[in-house]
């Protein structure tokens, strides 16, 4: 029975008409409106259409027919056709070309398997601003009670404001699109479903839909599975834009899911779920074709417990999030169920998030995770978790059977966690089954934790309680990242069990809580650091803590890294561990290394029950909870084992003391120029120094330090602080306890001795050791030392003494110990018979005693060399034979004669008994000076006698190379001098003269020892000279050479000098230069001859040649230099007295009446042969 029919191209038009078709409850084929065939059309305005029998359709368009409805209410209340199982659909279009258009229509369905609107077999529905209600239920997923449905290529377009779909029955799908070619385009539509197993949108078997500006609400659902959107099957797809999905159900109301090859793209939308196990987004596949979800700028909020996650990419599923936010809040209630933010699990479960913000709150609600084959990749994501055990990033591999890696990777991501044991990053695998590797990798990422036990980076193996058949592997890798933890026991990095590891590449760690160690390796764990910085600033917080047992040795390996802390040991080893630092440093606390048992350290927090990967969701049909494997069991506390630490430093620096507890063993190797700055008493079992430096810090309050080792071998250096004084003075010590001290094949150990202060603050001032000396290497409890185990690596000097390193005591009390002595070691003489008294100790004076002692002597040499003699200063001054006599006494004030000369002198003193045990240091010298003078007064009498006086200036220096009494060079002295002088000379009428000179010198002095810093001082010199001579005519010239006479001129001269030098000091002593006086006398004879010539002006010019032998004698000349010492000043006297002869010759050449050039040379040698020198001068004078 049909209420109205249009066929064969006919048209029916109804306006405000009521069409009611009952046909009996069990009748069939009772349709309200039927349009059959192409061109057939029914137009309805207003009115109503209702049917109530089985399989009765309210409106049917078939075989190309069309129905157009406007403002009409259509109701179908009949149940399903018992034969065909077809429901009583309200609007039903079937067949290609068939179409129903509905505007402002209300369609109600309530029968079994019915749809309020259905497009089938290529037919189409065009629904505008209409309402579709379905209160019926279905018990078959293939025949849902849908609000709007497209199957078998059916097409649905739904739009317009006020459009809505509402279902309330079981399997009451809001929008259902099924089969290849079936499509729906929906906009401006509110979809609300509330029945058991009701889906807001269901797309499967190749169907496709585009939904925009719409909403999906799941509310009042009963049962266990009611997703907001489910897209399933290869070719099935959904594009959701600017829409919202909201689910509020008791359990498993997933917001949006793509399965088995389906594809969903959701953009600028929101997904909100509330209820246990109600994830916002999921994707999975059991067919090998991935289900994929791409979410662009989507806001996700979940508020349920257990697996109410933000997004989960399950087996074969792929989820991509671009931008957007994910917020979850919920606790773990049932075992292994978590309200995580983002995650991927099982093979080919893949999640990628970029520029997304993730916030979770609740017990064990993690930010992002991967599990057993899942891969999660985060790019520029911000993760914040709040809740106990709310880990930021997590990877776990625990599946038994076929094995799959779990990988979580974060790039340029920020992780912040708050809560008890809320680790920043964690990777976990099993220690009882051979599962695959769980790995978390962070790149350019920051990790911050706040809470007790909230470790920054953590890798562990956990015990699942089965008989061990293998082991998994867990790794955390941090590249160019930063980790900050705040909380007691919140370690920066933690690796437990083997094989697990935490690797730090260009990564920094900072911990601030008590007992919050920078890095921890436990029971075979491994910490690797390259270009890493680890800082622990809390109480009892170590930079690195390694705890192992013989069968599970923990390991730490750092390269180009820094370990620091502020309390407790920097590196702690409990039990067995291997630690290597390469080009790295460890500093901060008072101890850099502590080795012992677990009881020698603050206890680690007790192990926690391990986490597991998320369990499966409840069964979608029955709601039954999935079976769970046996939960992991809490790991036992580490056993107590004696310490056995193998620590290797290569090119590294450590600061602090080292402690090895009784019963434990520390094997320390320093290699490749490592540096141990030792700040406190230390003990190490076995120490290899190859070649590196162990540098004892300066004593505080006169408390010196010891380094005790059982066995020592090395070719490096040990820097010791020693109060350099007499026997038994305090010193840092290396103590060999019961073992051996030996060199390495490449060399022995150099002891670098630094003079130190005692308890009174006084620096060691040096003293003569008359007994064993100062103990620096002790051998106790039967220890032995090789004869070539040690050497001095530098000079040990204090006061005037040089200390040497000697093996064995003098008194025979310890033949294996090593001492510093300030005595010279003479060659043992043949024993006298009968034996005489002991030979007094001979001091071993340091070379600087000779070097500094030569300074006053060199100052005297310079002073004498600059004052010189009259003829060397200004050449021949006798009147020319043709010079006219003045008629009366004349005096001239002002410049009358200017002169200048260059002086060079070189000499050597080679005393065979020079130095502290002789008369003077041995030295050679070179003197250079430039002197100028100006006559400012000239007076002449009528008899030819005359006087002249003037001033002079000079600048010069004298360099002296000094030898010590041992025959080896002591260094060089440089004296720079600036001189001011005055002179007066009287010449008699017959050429006799008296010449007086006064000179003042200012000295700037540098003494340059070979091995220590230079000594600097200044001083003054004063010189006075009085010289006289009288020429005797020996031979007169004749004829044309009438005036070319030969003269012999006896001469006498006395020179007095005084040297006053400032006191000074060097690194080892105060040096005092006593004032020194010199009184030198000279007797000589000068033979001279004149030659005359006339120039082209007719002027007579003179050339004078002369030869002068002299004898000199020093009457005083005993410089004294004093060195401070513990027993007072030690004087070193030099005797530069004695006699020597000298031979000089010179030539004066008068170029014209005003200019004269002069040159001279000389040679001196002492009568005992110890001294000699030679000199040369070149000068010019100008007569104004």
- 894 domain residue, yes or no: no
Percent helix / strand / coil, the chain, rounded to 5: 5, 55, 45
**66, pLDDT greater than 80:** yes
pLDDT average, residue stretch 945-958: 96
| Average of per-residue pLDDT across 17-27 | 80
**What is the residue-averaged pLDDT of the chain?**
92
Using CA atoms, how far residue 759 sits from 729, 1069, 1128, in Å, is: 12, 19, 20
Specify the pLDDT at position 23: 72
Q: Is there a domain that residue 902 lies in?
A: no
Position 843 pLDDT exceeds 70: yes
Task: Dump pLDDT digits (tens) for 242-262.
Answer: 999 999 877 667 899 999 999
Among residues 506, 412, 510, which one has the least CA distance to residue 456? Answer: 510
651 and 685 both lie in a single domain:
no
Please state whether beta strands 375-379 and 350-354 pair in parallel, antiparallel, or not at all (unpaired). parallel
Q: How many CB atoms lie within 10 A of CB 1154?
A: 11
**Both 499 and 467 in a single domain?**
no
**Can you give the pLDDT at residue 288?**
87
Domain of residue 875, CATH code: 2.40.128
pTM: 0.83
What's the confidence (pLDDT) of residue 827? 52
**CA-CA distance, 611 to 633, in Å (whole number)?**
10
Least confident of 167-176, 882-891, 980-989, 1031-1040: 1031-1040
pLDDT score of 31:
94
1006's tokens: 């540098």
Q: Are 325 and 350 in contact (CB under 8 A)?
A: no
| pLDDT of the residue at 105 | 98
* 453 has a pLDDT exceeding 80: yes
Confidence of residue 929 (pLDDT cuts 50, 70, 90): very high
CA–CA separation, 732 and 753 (whole Å) = 9
What does the pLDDT average to over 852-876? 95
pLDDT at 308: 75
Residue 374 located in a structural domain = yes
Q: Percentage of the chain with pLDDT > 70?
A: 94
C-alpha dist (Å) from residue 563 to 522, 536, 558, 585, 966: 18, 8, 9, 6, 49
Q: Are residues 345 and 469 in the same domain?
A: yes
Residue 915 has a pLDDT of 45
What's the mean pLDDT in 1112-1129? 94
**Mean local confidence (pLDDT), 196-213:** 95
CA distance 404 to 400: 10
Distance (Å, whole) CA 557 – CA 581: 6
Q: If DSSP codes are grouped into helix, strand and coil, which group holds residue 1175?
A: strand
Q: How confident is the model at residue 190 (pLDDT cuts 50, 70, 90)?
A: very high
Q: What does the DSSP 8-state code read for residue 4?
A: E
For residue 851, report the phi and psi dihedrals to the nearest 5 degrees: -65, -50
* pLDDT attached to residue 996: 98
Check whether residue 1009 and residue 1101 sit in a common domain: yes
Q: Is the pLDDT of residue 275 over 90?
A: no
User: What pLDDT is recorded for position 421?
Assistant: 95
Same domain, 21 and 128: yes
Q: What is the pLDDT of residue 814?
A: 97
Q: How do residues 1051-1087 score in pLDDT, each as one tens digit?
A: 999 999 999 999 999 999 999 999 999 999 999 999 9
Does 650 lie in the same domain as 565? yes
Residue 887 confidence (pLDDT) above 90: no
In a domain, 570, yes or no: yes
Q: pLDDT grade, residue 619 (50/70/90)? A: very low
**First-to-last CA distance in the chain?**
156
pLDDT band at residue 618, thresholds of 50, 70 and 90? very low
Domains: count for the chain: 5
Own/partner long-range contacts of 599-606 (Cβ < 8 Å, ≥24 apart): 599/640, 600/574, 600/643, 600/661, 600/664, 601/545, 601/572, 601/574, 602/515, 602/540, 602/568, 604/489, 604/515, 604/520, 604/522, 604/545, 604/547, 604/638, 605/453, 605/489, 605/515, 606/637
In a domain, 915, yes or no: no
Give residue 911's pLDDT.
65
3-class SS string, 380-446: CCEEEEECCCCCCEEEEECCCCCCCCEEEEEECCEEEEECCCCCCEEEEEECCCCCCEEEEEEECCE
Residues 6+ apart with CB under 8 A from 667: 644, 645, 646, 647, 685, 686
- Same domain for 411 and 499? no
Q: Structural domain of residue 331, as residue ranges?
A: 279-486
Mean per-residue pLDDT, 444-456? 98
Residue 612 has pLDDT above 80, yes or no: no
In terms of Cα–Cα distance, which of 319, 297, 322, 323 is closest to 309?
319
913: in domain: no
pLDDT of 332 reads: 67
Per residue in 507-531, pLDDT (tens digit) is: 999 999 999 999 999 999 999 999 9
Kindly indicate the confidence band of residue 913, based on its pLDDT and cuts at 50, 70 and 90.
very low
1070 within some domain: yes
**Residue 316 and residue 247 share a domain:** no
Secondary structure (3-state) at 867: helix
> Are both 431 and 342 inside the same structural domain?
yes
Report whether pLDDT(25) > 70: no
Mean pLDDT for the stretch of residues 880-896: 85
Shared-domain flag, residues 546 and 671: yes
Q: Which pLDDT band, with edges at 50, 70 and 90, does 914 fall under?
A: very low
Q: How far apart are alpha carbons 689 and 419 in whole angstroms? A: 46
Do 243 and 288 lie in one domain? The reply is no
**Are 645 and 693 found together in one domain?**
no
Q: Where does the pLDDT of residue 125 fall: very low under 50, low under 70, confident under 90, or very high at 90 and above?
A: very high
Cβ(597)–Cβ(661) below 8 Å: yes
- 1133 is a domain residue: yes
């Amino acid at each position: 029975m049909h209420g109205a029919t249009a066929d064969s191209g006919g048209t029916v038009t109804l306006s405000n008409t009521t069409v009611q078709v009952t046909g009996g409850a069990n009748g069939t084929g009772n349709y309200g409106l039927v349009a059959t065939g192409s061109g057939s059309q029914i137009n309805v305005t207003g009115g109503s259409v209702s049917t109530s029998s089985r399989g009765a359709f309210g409106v049917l368009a078939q075989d190309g027919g069309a129905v157009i409805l406007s403002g009409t209410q259509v109701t179908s209340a009949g149940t399903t056709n018992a034969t065909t199982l077809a429901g009583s659909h309200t609007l039903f279009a079937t067949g290609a070309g068939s179409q129903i258009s509905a505007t402002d229509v209300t369609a109600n369905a309530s029968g079994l398997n019915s749809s309020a609107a259905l497009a089938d077999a290529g037919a189409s529905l065009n629904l505008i601003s209409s309402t579709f209600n379905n209160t019926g239920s279905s018990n078959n997923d293939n025949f849902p009670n849908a609000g709007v449905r497209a199957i078998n290529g059916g097409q649905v377009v739904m739009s317009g404001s006020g459009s809505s779909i509402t279902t309330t029955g079981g399997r009451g799908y809001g929008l259902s699109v099924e089969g290849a070619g079936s499509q729906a385009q929906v906009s401006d539509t509110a979809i609300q479903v509330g029945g058991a197993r009701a889906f807001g949108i269901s797309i499967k078997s190749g169907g496709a839909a585009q939904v925009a500006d719409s909403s999906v609400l799941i509310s009042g659902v009963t049962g266990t599975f009611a997703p907001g959107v489910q897209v399933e099957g290869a070719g099935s797809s959904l594009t959701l834009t600017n829409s919202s999905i909201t689910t509020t159900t008791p359990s498993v109301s997933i917001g949006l899911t793509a399965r088995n090859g389906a594809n969903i793209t959701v953009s600028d939308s929101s997904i909100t779920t509330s209820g246990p196990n109600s994830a916002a987004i999921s994707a999975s596949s059991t067919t090998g074709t991935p289900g994929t979800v791409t979410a662009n700028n989507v806001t996700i909020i979940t508020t349920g417990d257990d697996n109410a996650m933000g997004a989960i990419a399950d087996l074969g599923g792929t989820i991509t999030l671009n931008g957007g936010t994910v917020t979850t809040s919920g606790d773990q209630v049932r075992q292994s169920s978590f309200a995580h933010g983002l995650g991927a699990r099982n093979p080919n479960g893949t999640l990628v998030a970029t520029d997304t913000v993730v916030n979770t709150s609740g017990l064990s609600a993690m930010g992002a995770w991967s599990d057993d084959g899942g891969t999660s990749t985060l790019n520029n994501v911000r993760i914040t978790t709040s809740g106990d055990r709310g880990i930021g990033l997590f990877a776990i591999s625990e599946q038994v059977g076929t094995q799959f890696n779990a990988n979580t990777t974060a790039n340029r991501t920020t992780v912040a966690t708050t809560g008890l044991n809320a680790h920043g990053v964690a990777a976990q695998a099993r220690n009882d089954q051979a599962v695959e590797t769980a790995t978390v990798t962070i790149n350019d990422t920051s990790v911050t934790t706040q809470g007790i036990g909230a470790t920054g980076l953590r890798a562990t193996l956990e015990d699942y309680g089965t008989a061990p058949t293998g082991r998994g592997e867990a790794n955390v890798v941090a590249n160019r990242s930063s980790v900050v933890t705040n909380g007691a026991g919140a370690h920066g990095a933690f690796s437990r069990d083997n094989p697990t590891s935490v690797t730090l590449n260009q990564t920094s760690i900072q911990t601030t809580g008590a007992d919050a160690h920078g890095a921890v390796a436990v029971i075979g764990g491994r910490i690797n650091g390259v270009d890493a910085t680890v800082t622990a600033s809390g109480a009892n917080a170590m930079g690195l803590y390694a705890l192992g047992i013989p069968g599970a040795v923990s390991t730490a390996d750092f390269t180009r890294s820094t370990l620091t802390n502020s309390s407790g040991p920097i590196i702690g080893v409990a039990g067995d561990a291997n630690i290597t630092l390469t080009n790295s440093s460890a500093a901060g606390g008072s101890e850099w290394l502590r080795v012992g048992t677990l009881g020698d350290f603050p206890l680690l927090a007790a192990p926690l029950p391990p986490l597991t990967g998320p369990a499966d969701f409840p069964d979608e049909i029955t709601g039954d909870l999935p079976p769970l494997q046996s939960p992991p069991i809490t790991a036992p506390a580490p056993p107590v084992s004696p310490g056995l630490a193998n620590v290797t430093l290569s090119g590294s620096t450590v600061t602090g003391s080292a402690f090895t507890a009784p019963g434990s063993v520390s094997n320390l190797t320093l290699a490749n120029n490592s540096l141990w700055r030792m700040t406190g008493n230390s003990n190490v079992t076995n120490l290899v120094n190859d070649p590196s430096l162990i540098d004892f810090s300066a004593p505080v309050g006169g408390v010196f330090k010891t380094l005790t080792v059982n066995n020592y071998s090395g070719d490096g250096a040990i820097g010791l602080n020693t109060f350099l004084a007499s026997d038994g003075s305090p010193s840092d010590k290396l103590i060999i306890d019961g073992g051996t001290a030996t060199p390495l094949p490449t060399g022995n150990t150099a002891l670098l001795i630094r003079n130190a202060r005692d308890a009174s603050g006084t620096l060691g001032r040096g003293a003569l050791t008359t007994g064993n000396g100062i103990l620096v290497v002790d051998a106790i409890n039967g220890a032995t030392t090789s004869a070539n185990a040690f050497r001095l690596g530098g000079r040990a000097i204090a006061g005037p003494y040089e200390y040497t390193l000697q093996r064995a005591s003098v008194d025979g009390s310890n033949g294996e110990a090593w001492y510093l002595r300030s005595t010279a070691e003479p060659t043992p003489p043949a024993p006298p018979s009968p034996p005489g008294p002991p030979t007094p100790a001979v001091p071993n004076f340091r070379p600087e005693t000779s070097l500094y002692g030569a300074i006053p002597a060199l100052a005297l040499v310079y002073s004498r060399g600059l004052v010189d003699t009259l003829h060397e200063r200004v050449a021949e001054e006798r009147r020319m034979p043709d010079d006219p006599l003045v008629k009366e006494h004349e005096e001239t004030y002002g410049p009358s004669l200017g002169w200048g000369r260059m002086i060079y002198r070189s000499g050597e003193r080679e005393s065979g008994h020079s130095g502290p045990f002789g008369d003077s240091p041995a030295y050679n010298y070179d003197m250079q000076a430039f002197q100028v003078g100006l006559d400012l007064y000239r007076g002449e009498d009528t008899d030819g006698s005359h006087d002249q006086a003037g001033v002079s200036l000079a600048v010069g220096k004298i360099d002296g190379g000094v030898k010590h009494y041992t025959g080896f060079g002591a260094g060089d002295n440089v004296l720079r001098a600036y001189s001011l002088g005055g002179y007066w000379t009287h010449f008699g009428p017959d050429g006799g003269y008296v010449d007086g000179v006064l000179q003042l010198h200012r000295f700037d002095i540098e003494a340059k020892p070979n091995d220590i810093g230079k000594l600097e001082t200044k001083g003054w010199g004063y010189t006075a000279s009085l010289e006289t001579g009288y020429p005797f005519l020996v031979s007169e010239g004749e004829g044309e050479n009438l005036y070319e006479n030969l003269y012999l001129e006896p001469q006498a001269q006395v020179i007095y000098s005084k040297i006053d030098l400032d006191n000074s000091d060097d690194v080892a002593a105060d040096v005092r230069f006593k004032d020194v006086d010199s009184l030198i006398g000279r007797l000589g004879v000068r033979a001279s001859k004149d030659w005359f010539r006339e120039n082209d002006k007719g002027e007579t010019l003179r050339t004078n040649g002369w030869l002068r032998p002299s004898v000199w004698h020093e009457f005083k000349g005993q410089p004294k230099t004093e060195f401070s010492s513990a027993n007072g000043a030690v004087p070193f006297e030099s005797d530069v007295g004695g006699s020597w002869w000298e031979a000089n010759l010179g030539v004066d050449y008068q170029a014209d009446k005003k200019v004269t050039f002069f040159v001279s040379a000389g040679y001196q040698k002492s009568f005992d042969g110890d001294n000699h020198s030679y000199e040369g001068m070149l000068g010019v004078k100008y007569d104004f």
